[in-house]
Amino acid sequence: MTHNSGYHLKPHHKFEREGRKYVADLETNDIIEINDVEWDILSRYGTQTDYQIVEALKKKYKVSSVFEGIKRLEWFGKRGQLLARIPESSGEFNASQPVRGELRLLVPFGFRDEESSIDYITTMNRYQLLSALTRKASLETLSFSQVRDGGIRSGNKRDLGKIRIRQITNDEDDTFVPVWYAREGYDGILLLSQLMENDLLYYQVPDIPIVHCIENSQKLQSSLLEPLLALYVAQKTNDSLVVKASWMKEWLSEFGIPGKHIHVIPDGINVVEPIDKGLAKQHTAAIFDRPMFAERPVVGLVSGFEPHLGAQWISAFARANRHLSIFVYDYVLAKHYRNLPENVVIFRADDEEMSAILPVFFQALDLIYFPAMPGTPLSVVLEAMAYGTPCIAMTKYGLPTEVKGAGVSIGLEWDNFGDFHVSMDQLSAAINQGLEPSKMRAEYERIAKGFAQKYTWQKAARNIIRLFEENRPLMTRSYPTDENLFRPIFCRRYSSETRKITSNVYRLGINRYEHLEKALAETLMEQHKSTEVASVFKHFKIESSVQRRGNLAFGRGTKF
């Protein structure tokens, strides 16, 4: 696109006289003196984006001078000179711009820096998702001659598969960040980072939709909420937040994040050729040196509990159910939990070898139970169930839709500080009942076996591509300014000068108060047509005018 901040170039004429440069606005007949930078910018403004202009001129002029030149020209535009504002309801089509059938997506690789902060399975799931996406879109990442956050080192290009590398030559003192290079030529940006400090800058890229995938990793459990709220504030209307489990969407809605901004797309799962359950139990018993695992019912807990409280609860549950063999998948506790009850084993997959043996343990399970809460990896739950194992979900939101028809639910209360409560008696009774052969259990097993076809990486990739396609930049898109990159906060403000409290609007990102009517109109435009919003404001203005006239008449006719 060749729009620049929502302006187009008006008919004009450039000329020089006595060593000075001028431009004449042929519509207003204004003559304006311009400098060399602005002269060159005008030659490109109608056919290039801001990004293309800066890239073309940064070797000839200081980058700051180019930005200042663009800013000055747009200042003239605000006064009705040289540039004209593009109406929000219309756009300009650039016939020279190629129309691509395949989406071109930018994937910043800053997420690789946080791999030590998340678990192995989550890391591998990311790469499997990227691999599936390369079959449906053109993925690209950035490589800098001088390393920048969010890019990769030139020469550190392992494991990228079909992801293209965009080589960028930059100097050590180059002030451009990777976000700058995201402004040109992409249909969308896929963000995978969970720490998000650098990724928040991508939300300032106008028009280009962002899909940000949020992991359900137990290691990030205590640090996730605040960044997610900051991310929501930074979102544009065409950005999407993707969570991997339905309970994550329910949880975030408790903090005021509307459901329309959150999309549930479970990861794909990997299921191997099944073996006999008796043989799987024997292998499990031998590997952990616990003969009882070949003799008793084996139930599996996929845990997302806070580690300290989770360890206490697991021990209490094991002592209350000594007739059960209990397999626990807990990435954090597996490394630190000591003095386990004799009927408990705990495991985590932290490398390729450990991950390869996990399906054996899953096939030894007669029943699975898990807390539907942040930190519980849904992909592990689904993979364990896919061998035909029913589940019991401990939840405060009802049975998760992902396991509907393959199990039951019991109540779970939890807060954002790690505390939780579940009735031990109710859970024990549900497990004992679930282990009994029945027509209902057989139906649960049948549905669970279908998860291998229901949750594939191809479907996950297809759903993410659909989000980009639905929000793909259109010629009719309006262009955000610095003001509306951040959502308005409606508030009451006290003025020490007038000693009055008035309704007001504050923008956190740019830290200033703004015009109330403008911000209200912007908010209403997210759900309503511009004509509807205009009609509402016109109605209130008429009422306000009538009321003021009435007050004046009352004042003239009344004496005190």
Whether residues 450 and 393 fall in one domain: yes
What count of other Cβ atoms lies within 10 Å of the Cβ of residue 547? Answer: 10
Residue entry with tokens 């209350």: 320
Residue type at 19 in one-letter notation: G
- Band of pLDDT at residue 486, cut at 50, 70 and 90: low
Q: Which residue has the higher pLDDT, 235 or 292?
A: 292
pLDDT at 3 over 50: no
Total number of domains in the chain: 4
177 and 234 in a common domain? yes
pLDDT at 443: 98
Mean pLDDT value across residues 71-75: 88
Q: Is 364 inside a domain boundary?
A: yes
For residue 28, pLDDT beyond 80: yes
Domain range for residue 392?
A: 277-454
At 524 the pLDDT is 75
Three-state DSSP state, 421: strand
Does residue 152 lie within any of the structural domains?
Answer: yes
Assess if residue 496 is contained within a domain. Answer: yes
Q: pLDDT, tens digit, for every residue of 408-466?
A: 999 999 988 789 999 999 999 999 999 999 999 999 999 999 999 999 999 999 999 99
Say what percent of the chain tops pLDDT 90.
Answer: 47
- Please indicate, yes or no, if residue 197 is contained in any of the structural domains: yes
For 282, the token pair is 């024997």
Q: Give the relative orientation of helices 530-556 and 516-524 as an angle to the nearest 10 degrees.
A: 150
User: Coil, helix or strand for 168?
Assistant: strand
Taking 90 as the threshold, does the pLDDT of residue 171 lie above it? no
Contact 282, 253 (CB under 8 A): no
CB 188 within 8 A of CB 208: yes
| Residue 1 included in any domain | no
Q: Is the pLDDT of residue 197 over 60?
A: yes
Alpha-carbon distance of 191 to 199, in angstroms, equals 7
Task: Clarify whether residues 309 and 184 are in a common domain.
Answer: no
Q: Are residues 110 and 188 in the same domain?
A: yes
Same domain, residue pair 391 and 510: no
In a domain, 478, yes or no: no
3-class DSSP assignment, residue 279: helix
For residues 167-174, give the mean pLDDT.
Answer: 69
Query: Are 76 and 109 part of one and the same domain?
Result: no
Question: Percent of the chain beyond pLDDT 70?
Answer: 79
Final residue before a domain boundary, out of 439, 454, 469: 454
Q: What is the average pLDDT across 165-190?
A: 78
Instruction: Write the DSSP symbol of residue 198.
Output: T
Interval 269-286: pLDDT, tens: 999 999 999 999 999 999
Angle between helices 378-385 and 120-133 (to 10 degrees): 80
Are 16 and 113 contained in the same domain?
no
- What does the alpha-carbon distance between residue 533 and residue 527 come to, in Å, rounded to a whole number? 10
What mean pLDDT, rounded, does the chain reach?
83
Give the span between the Cα atoms of 176 and 2, in whole angstroms.
Answer: 21
Amino acid at 242: V
For residues 228 and 435, which has the higher predicted lDDT (pLDDT)? 435
**Local confidence band at 397 (pLDDT 50, 70, 90 cut-offs):** very high
In a domain, 93, yes or no: no
Provide the angle, in degrees to the nearest 10, between the axes of the packed helices 63-78 and 50-57.
Answer: 140
Specify the 3-state DSSP secondary structure of 171: coil
Smallest CA-to-CA distance from 415 within 269, 258, 500, 305 is with 305
Q: Is the CB of residue 23 less than 8 Å from the CB of residue 14?
A: yes
Are both 260 and 281 inside the same structural domain? Answer: no
Residue with tokens 């940006």: 189
Q: Residue 321: its pLDDT value, please?
A: 96
pLDDT at 483: 44
Residue 185 is part of a domain; what is its CATH number? Answer: 3.40.50
In a shared domain, residues 234 and 343: no
Q: If DSSP states are collapsed to H, E and C, what string results for 333-350?
A: HHHHCCCCCCCEEEECCC
- Return the pLDDT at 517: 72
Q: What is the 3-state secondary structure (H, E, C) of 438-468?
A: CHHHHHHHHHHHCHHHHCCHHHHHHHHHHHH
Final residue belonging to a domain, choices 23, 54, 85: 85
**Could you tell me if 32 and 76 are in contact, meaning their C-beta atoms sit under 8 angstroms apart?**
yes
Tokens standing for 64?
């700051």
For the segment 217-245, the average pLDDT, to the nearest whole number, is 84
Out of 264, 296, 328, a domain closes at: 264
Compare 542 and 230 and report the one with higher pLDDT. Answer: 230
* Domain harbouring 346, CATH code: 3.40.50.2000
* Residue 87 tokens, joined: 């109406």
Q: What is the pLDDT of residue 175?
A: 59
Model confidence band, residue 485 (pLDDT cutoffs 50, 70, 90): very low
Instruction: Give 34's contacts (C-beta < 8 A, 6+ positions apart).
Output: 21, 22, 23, 42
Note whether 124 and 199 are same-domain residues.
Answer: yes
Q: How many residues does the chain have?
A: 560
Q: Are residues 110 and 202 in the same domain?
A: yes
Query: Over 60: is that where the pLDDT of 309 sits?
Result: yes
Residue 498 lies in a domain: yes
Q: What is the CATH number of the domain that holds 27?
A: 3.90.930
Is the pLDDT assigned to residue 89 strictly greater than 50?
no
- What phi and psi values does residue 497 have, to the nearest 5 degrees? -80, -45
Same domain, 442 and 495: no
pLDDT > 60? residue 180: yes
